[in-house]
Amino acid sequence: MPNDCMAVSLGLPGLEVLYQRSSEGGGLEVTVRYRTRTASCPGCGKPAVIVHATTAQRKKDRRIWDRPLTLILFKRRFHCLWCGKVFTEPDPIFGHRRRSSRRLREHIACRAIEQPISQVARQEGVSASLVRRSFYDAYHRRWEEVRDHPMAAPILSLDEFSRAKRCYETLVYDPVQANVLGLLPGKGGVLLRAWLEKLSHPDEVRVVTMDMHDPFRQAVQLCLPYARVVVDKFHFLRMVHHALSQVRVTLQQTGAAPKSTLLFRGRHLLLVAQERLRPADWAKLRALFRLAPDLQTAWELKEELRQWYRNESWEQARQQIRLWVAKVRRCGLVPFQSLLSTLRDWGEEILNYFHCPVTSGALEGKNNRIKVIKRMAYGYRNPDNLRMRILLTNKTIRATA
């Protein structure tokens, strides 16, 4: 070998390198064989040492130095002296009758999560059918694990997303490990209840975050007796912001032209947090409040509820929310009156935030990721393909790349 060469490990300790050379297309060809000198006979189970025949098989592997790598495997057939059986040695690195390594298939499966199959095939120098098969194999391995053996987590997040028009899917998410634990068709509580009943240790689940969807709450209360349901605070604050916007729209529609124009231009400024307002923003808000005093009352109610979430104790939060409810009843603003029924039906779950201050922020981020996946494919007609893409975004799958 020339003295200006260097060696690099293949990362496959079970193989022994016999020879390597550069191919015409700029790739690398490495001749290898398994290090073991014996193999267990599948007939009698005793070790066989006599090599009956050897064949050279070309198999693709992951790129090295950004160059295509082809492994030429000397595959041996052994002859057992005990029972006379002739058999082929096992092939754990590549698989039975496979022309690519397992790590290559896992690598292209992870790449196919975010890129089109044709693009991955072109960049990796493999066929599109290999990318598609590797992608499906990785999905089915993970899907069988999730479907048949759902794992419990201390914190679960529940939400639904739209797969197509009027077609919904329920997402069960572990925000700690950032993994999708379950994908269920529809947004009812029957399938969710059946999934929760499969959990091996349901008493390990302590907190379940969700929006104000009653079928989810009923399923959790029935199947997870030790779990505390927490309403995501951003969903409740969004309802308060919507009530403020409704007050502004009502005043805008009943006011004169100059007043309605100013109210419309200040629609975004009303939703900005108080601590983020600049002096110029305060001047604009004061002008709006002089035109519409009811709008100032609605804005103050919104800010009081935002500050309410900063309480450190459950008892203090319970007392302050009662004062806020009394103020809403006195002000007489119709959009805010509808929030009282929400507090009556979900008050305990909303207050549970002060026992367990967790939100569904990580799950909402996963929902944004799902929207990107749908846009990349211009929608999915087959729901299994969409579930496959979502499930393969888990860290447990991506870590194999």
Q: How confident is the model at residue 398 (pLDDT cuts 50, 70, 90)?
A: very low
Instruction: Judge if 246 and 190 occupy the same domain.
Output: no
- Evaluate whether residue 145 is within a structural domain: no
Instruction: Judge if 255 and 316 occupy the same domain.
Output: yes
**Boundary-marking domain end, from 99, 126, 142:** 99
pLDDT digits (tens, 9 = 90+) for 182-203: 888 888 889 999 989 888 888 8
- Evaluate whether residue 111 is within a structural domain: no
pLDDT digits (tens, 9 = 90+) for 339-391: 999 999 999 999 999 999 999 999 999 999 888 888 877 777 778 778 877 87
Tell me the pLDDT of the chain averaged across its residues: 88
Query: How buried is 14 (Cβ within 10 angstroms: 0-12 exposed, 13-18 middle, 19+ buried)?
Result: exposed
Distance between CA atoms of residues 385 and 181, nearest Å: 17
Distance between CA atoms of residues 89 and 53, nearest Å: 11
Instruction: Judge if 246 and 292 occupy the same domain.
Output: yes
Closest CA to 81 of 107, 46, 124, 132: 46
- Evaluate whether residue 133 is within a structural domain: no
Total tally of structural domains belonging to the chain = 3
Instruction: Judge if 333 and 259 occupy the same domain.
Output: yes
Domain extent for 215? 150-232+361-398
**What percent of the chain clears pLDDT 90, i.e. is strictly above it?**
56
Instruction: Judge if 73 and 181 occupy the same domain.
Output: no
Burial 95-134 (b: 16+ CB within 10 A, else e): eeebebbbbbbbbbbbbbbbeebeebbeebebeeebbbbb
Burial 177-200 (b: 16+ CB within 10 A, else e): eebbbbbbeebbbebbbebbeebe
Q: How confident is the model at residue 147 (pLDDT cuts 50, 70, 90)?
A: low
What pLDDT score does 355 carry?
A: 94
pTM of the model: 0.71
Confirm if 169 and 186 have CB atoms less than 8 A apart.
yes
Res 3 pLDDT > 60? no
Res 16 pLDDT > 80? yes
pLDDT digits (tens, 9 = 90+) for 19-59: 888 887 788 899 999 999 999 999 999 999 999 899 999 99
- Evaluate whether residue 305 is within a structural domain: yes
Res 1 pLDDT > 50? no
What pLDDT score does 258 carry?
A: 80
Res 207 pLDDT > 80? yes
What pLDDT score does 150 carry?
A: 67
**Boundary-marking domain end, from 99, 116, 138:** 99
pLDDT digits (tens, 9 = 90+) for 209-236: 999 999 999 999 999 989 999 999 999 9
**Boundary-marking domain end, from 67, 84, 99:** 99
Confirm if 83 and 370 have CB atoms less than 8 A apart.
no
Q: Provide the angle, in degrees to the nearest 10, between the axes of the packed helices 279-291 and 257-265.
A: 140
Instruction: Judge if 227 and 332 occupy the same domain.
Output: no
Average pLDDT over residues 152-170: 88
- Evaluate whether residue 141 is within a structural domain: no
Instruction: Judge if 285 and 249 occupy the same domain.
Output: yes
Instruction: Judge if 228 and 239 occupy the same domain.
Output: no
pLDDT digits (tens, 9 = 90+) for 279-325: 999 999 999 999 899 999 999 999 999 999 999 899 999 999 999 99
- Evaluate whether residue 160 is within a structural domain: yes
What pLDDT score does 146 carry?
A: 62
Give the three-class secondary structure for 61. Answer: strand
What pLDDT score does 230 carry?
A: 96
Instruction: Judge if 366 and 349 occupy the same domain.
Output: no
Distance between CA atoms of residues 373 and 135, nearest Å: 15
Give me the CATH number covering residue 173. Answer: 3.30.420.10
Structure tokens belonging to residue 299: 């804005």
Q: Identify which has the larger pLDDT, 145 or 19.
A: 19
Q: How confident is the model at residue 153 (pLDDT cuts 50, 70, 90)?
A: confident
pLDDT digits (tens, 9 = 90+) for 69-119: 999 999 999 999 999 999 999 999 999 889 999 999 989 988 887 777 888
Distance between CA atoms of residues 312 and 185, nearest Å: 38
E strand or H helix that includes residue 120: helix 117-124
Check residue 47 and report its DSSP letter.
E
Instruction: Judge if 248 and 299 occupy the same domain.
Output: yes
Instruction: Judge if 21 and 74 occupy the same domain.
Output: yes
- Evaluate whether residue 7 is within a structural domain: no
Instruction: Judge if 278 and 188 occupy the same domain.
Output: no
